């Protein structure tokens, strides 16, 4: 993507014009959440002003229009992930709820005492705790794939963890701390050789790299709308129909039922079985708009441009004495974690903020990973396609100043 294209794209994101302490905002916290293009915000406004009515089963015009928009959004998501069927797309509150849904429902359907779940050392808490809760509930064991010094998962150690008790493997597609792009296709293939299912946490992948759930052969794939330029409060669970059909509902209520009596309730078919209560039909419509926006730019173009940005930022960061990049995997996405000398990451983040630069500091909801590295946390800069090399230059100059002050 050329300079002019990025300039045009930046105009779609009004927040990028904001001044922070009288400085131009430089937003490098895209791993936590991305900013929203005007079309997504307008879609929300339009839905509330012109399309608002509770969906499904309504006979009136607005309800039918809103239902259509919600179900069209499901089709857009299915196409975005290249799912075989739109019924395999379940709307959730986000990645976290999607993983909890699978941990609960898959656990109920398929797991018993003595079974094992495999996660990796670099997971976000939301891909650890739901499995720990399942293990506690059922008397199961959690196994952990280790990584090497660069932050790449040890595939041989992973193979050795799989045994006749293993029921499911749940790993991130991209690490939110290290930026490592995990070899998920290989991980899935290995699991399937032992009839073990795989969930991929795609929260940090879908905004940056093309994802095809059928090619990957993922059993479950999850992501959050807010990390891919969509609204907060909605996300996606993709699941193979065959598994979703065998899993019990996660929550009970309206929408998810076929018939209800005090003696017996029967459940609705997919995808509604897993969508109890009034769904976020405005959120789904806005998510679909965000996905169209991304598709218009082209996810391959985004991946190439962000790779350029990340490579440039890494090179420039290494100019700074005492710089330690945390996570140096061969395959990396648009995330750079770092530490400088003995300076506390929080101090760097706080001073950068005063210069208008938003980065994240701390354990990034991946405490076991941070502990395994023997550090307190990191400073994390994470990029989006609206970021520029000029912003990186300003960031480096600011960081040099900050480091000088703190040393």
Nearer to ligand PMP, 205 or 355 (CB): 205
Q: Which of residues 347-406 bind ligand PMP (CB under 6 A)?
A: 365
Q: Which stretch binds ligand PMP (CB under 6 A): 144-152, 196-204, 317-325, 330-338?
A: 196-204
Nearest-angstrom CA–CA distance, 79 and 77: 5
How far apart are CB 201 and ligand PMP at their closest, in Å?
5
Nearer to ligand PMP, 224 or 285 (CB): 224
Nearest-angstrom CA–CA distance, 225 and 253: 24
Nearest-angstrom CA–CA distance, 361 and 348: 8
Q: Which stretch binds ligand PMP (CB under 6 A): 82-90, 123-131, 303-311, 397-405?
A: 123-131
Q: Which stretch binds ligand PMP (CB under 6 A): 36-44, 121-129, 134-142, 144-152?
A: 121-129
Nearer to ligand PMP, 29 or 115 (CB): 29
Q: Where are the alpha helices (DSSP H) in 325-375?
A: 345-354, 367-372
* Near ligand PMP by CB under 6 A: residue from 76, 100, 176, 285: 176
Nearest-angstrom CA–CA distance, 173 and 204: 7
Q: Tell whether residue 201 is a contact of ligand PMP (CB under 6 A).
A: yes
Q: Which stretch binds ligand PMP (CB under 6 A): 81-89, 92-100, 185-193, 275-283?
A: 92-100
Nearest-angstrom CA–CA distance, 292 and 339: 37
For the record, the structure tokens of 279 come out as 């769904």
Backbone angles phi, psi at 244, to 5 degrees: -60, -35
Q: Which of 33, 1, 19 is nearest to 389 (CA)?
A: 1
How far apart are CB 172 and ligand PMP at their closest, in Å?
5
Nearer to ligand PMP, 34 or 387 (CB): 34
Beta-bridged to residue 168, according to DSSP, are: 117, 197
Spatial contact of 175 and 122, defined as CB atoms under 8 Å apart: yes
Q: Tell whether residue 182 is a contact of ligand PMP (CB under 6 A).
A: no
How far apart are CB 117 and ligand PMP at their closest, in Å?
16
Q: Which of residues 204-243 bind ligand PMP (CB under 6 A)?
A: 204, 224
Q: Tell whether residue 203 is a contact of ligand PMP (CB under 6 A).
A: yes
* 250 contact partners, CB below 8 Å, separation of at least 6: 100, 101, 104, 105, 274, 276
Q: Tell whether residue 179 is a contact of ligand PMP (CB under 6 A).
A: no
How far apart are CB 126 and ligand PMP at their closest, in Å?
4
How far apart are CB 205 and ligand PMP at their closest, in Å?
8
Q: Which helix (H) or strand (E) holds 213?
A: helix 213-216
Q: Is 365 among the catalytic positions?
A: yes
* Near ligand PMP by CB under 6 A: residue from 30, 34, 76, 95: 95
* 378 contact partners, CB below 8 Å, separation of at least 6: 177, 326, 337, 338, 339, 345, 361, 362, 364, 370
Beta-bridged to residue 340, according to DSSP, are: 323
Q: With contacts defined by CB under 6 A, how many residues of the chain interact with ligand PMP?
A: 13
Nearest-angstrom CA–CA distance, 318 and 358: 20
Beta-bridged to residue 23, according to DSSP, are: 20
By CB under 6 A, name the binding residues for ligand PMP. 94-96, 124, 126-127, 172, 176, 201, 203-204, 224, 365
The catalytic residue positions are 365
């Amino acid at each position: 993507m050329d300079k002019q294209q990025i300039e045009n794209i930046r105009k779609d994101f009004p927040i990028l014009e904001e001044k922070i302490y009288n400085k131009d905002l430089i937003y490098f916290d895209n791993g936590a959440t991305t900013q929203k293009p005007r079309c997504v915000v307008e879609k929300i406004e339009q839905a509330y002003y012109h399309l608002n009515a509770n969906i499904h089963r309504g006979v009136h015009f607005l309800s039918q229009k809103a239902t259509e928009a919600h179900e069209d959004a499901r089709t857009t998501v299915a196409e975005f992930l290249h799912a075989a069927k739109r019924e395999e797309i379940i709307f959730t509150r986000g990645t976290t709820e999607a993983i909890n849904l699978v941990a609960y429902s898959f656990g109920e359907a398929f797991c018993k005492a003595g079974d094992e779940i495999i996660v990796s050392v670099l997971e976000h808490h939301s891909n650890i705790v739901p499995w720990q809760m399942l293990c506690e509930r059922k008397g199961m064991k959690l196994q952990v794939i280790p990584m090497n010094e660069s932050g790449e998962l040890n595939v041989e150690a992973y193979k050795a963890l799989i045994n006749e008790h293993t029921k499911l493997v749940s790993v991130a597609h991209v690490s939110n701390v290290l930026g490592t792009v995990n070899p998920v296709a290989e991980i899935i293939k290995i699991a399937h050789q032992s009839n073990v299912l795989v969930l991929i946490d795609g929260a940090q992948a879908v905004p940056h790299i093309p994802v095809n759930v059928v090619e990957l052969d993922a059993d479950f794939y999850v992501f959050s709308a807010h990390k891919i330029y969509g609204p907060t409060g909605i996300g996606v669970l993709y699941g193979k129909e065959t598994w979703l059909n065998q899993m019990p509902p996660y929550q009970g209520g309206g929408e998810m039922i076929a018939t209800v009596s005090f003696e017996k309730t029967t459940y609705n078919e997919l995808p509604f079985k897993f969508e109890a209560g009034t769904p976020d039909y405005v959120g789904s419509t806005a998510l679909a708009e965000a996905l169209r926006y991304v598709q218009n730019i082209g996810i391959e173009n985004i991946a190439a441009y962000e790779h350029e940005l990340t490579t440039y930022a890494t090179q420039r960061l290494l100019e700074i004495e005492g710089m330690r990049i945390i996570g140096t995997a061969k395959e990396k996405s648009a995330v750079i974690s770092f530490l400088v000398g003995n300076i506390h990451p929080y101090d760097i983040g706080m001073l950068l903020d005063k210069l208008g630069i938003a980065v994240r500091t701390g354990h990034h909801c991946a405490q076991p990973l941070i502990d395994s590295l023997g550090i307190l946390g990191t400073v994390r800069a994470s990029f989006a396609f609206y970021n520029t090399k000029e912003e990186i230059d300003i960031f480096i100059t600011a960081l040099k100043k900050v480091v000088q002050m703190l040393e």
